[in-house]
Structure 1
């Protein structure tokens, strides 16, 4: 994952983040990350960086995110970025994120991978003063690979601390993806926490340049939110070759 819920007056929509890593080892095709909210047990290419960016549109609000991530040493990925959201007739708000992720087991063809991630999302324009620090979280991503990596199942289990409400939450996510070839794959997932109705999302991912430039599109929503909580998203992911 991680999706990090922070309710605010944007058409009753819950804000969520997805920080997903990309690129399997050389033995597998590189299919993953955006547009998933459920994270996978993989990292950005060692010695390189990636950029995940997306626009999410609700009936009465919009969000835009950019999350650069780098893996300079091989088994530690650092993500630092932010987003901007605006509801109809409302002032824009900003969010900032910092996360570290490592692998406990590297994913192999027809095997599984396991990782650990922790981070913090800050909401200074929504929760000023003592609530500046927003949400702190940690989670374990698990990925299972089948059919030489063309079918992948991702599972997340984690903890989230909302500093504003002083609540602790158990977070979870389950997602699957299927690759139709080197360029196109389909995704579907459900995710949530123990205090709210689950969210769902489904969509498609297309590599314009294999393993380097990806675009994606999804439809999603929350089980009890009705049409007002539905969203449509468009994403762009850039994954250059080794940079350092």
Structure 2
């Protein structure tokens, strides 16, 4: 299994609370004290001449006050061969958080710092501490648009590498009735960038969402990543 097969998966897992799901780019919003969010999604990654990887991700998060939220992301994945037989399993769990430095409002930009640490389990191995990351986040509202920019640093202990990470995204809220649409690009200074699109159906305002995303990695690998998920807020 090539290391980059897991790169998008662990980028998704180790980044705290995405821009409202299903974007990988984070936003500067944070959960108010006492608030709870539960995100769950299916993901499927494919790449030519590489076994398919599918899995499920679950992440509860809670606002603890001081403009801060904390969460736990858990991911389980299975690798499939050309005959669609499951051959290997892998997993990870991450402690994630985000702290607002300047509150995001409908009329003013927000700034936040996101951070995470995780333990990963490659096929046939036990869980081991691997990734740590910190990410600066800015969100700028412009009428019904939200523009996000991320810049951060990540460390993989197992691979003994550091990476500069980045992401930018644009969201159009209420683009088609209750459906929000978005586009993004994200990556790091070691691998080709990803380009993706996303949609979010607001089933019940501020409470229940259904979402999906699709991204393609640029360069020769042409890996593809699909996610389909939901979010509940309490």
Give the structure-1-normalised TM-score.
Answer: 0.82
For residue 24 of structure 2, give the secondary structure of its aligned residue in structure 1.
coil
Can you list the C-alpha shifts for 1:177-229, whole angstroms capped at 9, x where unaligned? 001267211011000001111011102100111110100112112112555x1
Q: Is the 8 A contact 2:16 2:115 kept in 1?
A: no
Distance in 2 between residues matched to 1:91 and 1:239, nearest whole Å: 34
2:134 paired residue number: 138
Q: SS in structure 2 opposite 1:40?
A: coil
8 Å CA contact 1:127–1:164 kept in 2: the answer is no
What are the ranges of 5 or more consecutive residues in structure 1 without an aligned counterpart? 1-5, 22-31
Deviation at 1:138, TM superposition (A): 0.5
Distance 1:7 1:47 in 2: 41
Shift of 1:33: 1.2
Say if 1:77 and 1:13 are closer, same or farther in 2 by CA, change over 3 A: closer
Match of residue 208 from structure 1 = 203
Provide the alpha-carbon RMSD of the alignment.
Answer: 2.3
2: CA distance between counterparts of 1:75 and 1:144? Answer: 18
Partner of 2:157: 163
What CA distance in whole angstroms lies between the structure 2 residues aligned with 1:74 and 1:45?
9
Q: Does 1:235 align with 2:229?
A: yes
More strand by share: 2
Counterparts of 1:100 and 1:128 in 2: how far apart (Å)?
Answer: 27
What is the aligned length? 220
* 2:37 paired residue among 50, 54, 72: 50
Residue aligned with 1:123, SS: strand
Structure 2 gap segments, 5+ residues each: 47-51, 81-85
Go from structure 1 to structure 2 and tell me whether the alpha carbon gap of 1:87 and 1:127 turns closer, same or farther (over 3 Å shift): closer
Question: Once structures 1 and 2 are overlaid, which stretch shifts more, 36-45 or 153-162?
Answer: 36-45
Shift in Å, 1:235:
0.9
Matches within 5 A, 1:64-143: 64-88=56-80, 89-126=86-123, 132-143=128-139
Indicate the SS of the match to 2:121: coil
Q: Which residue of 2 aligns with 1:184?
A: 179
TM-score, length-scaled by structure 2: 0.86
Q: Judge conservation of contact 2:118–2:130 (CA < 8 Å) in 1.
A: yes
Distance 1:7 1:159, change over 3 A: farther
CA contact (8 A) 2:102 2:110 kept: yes
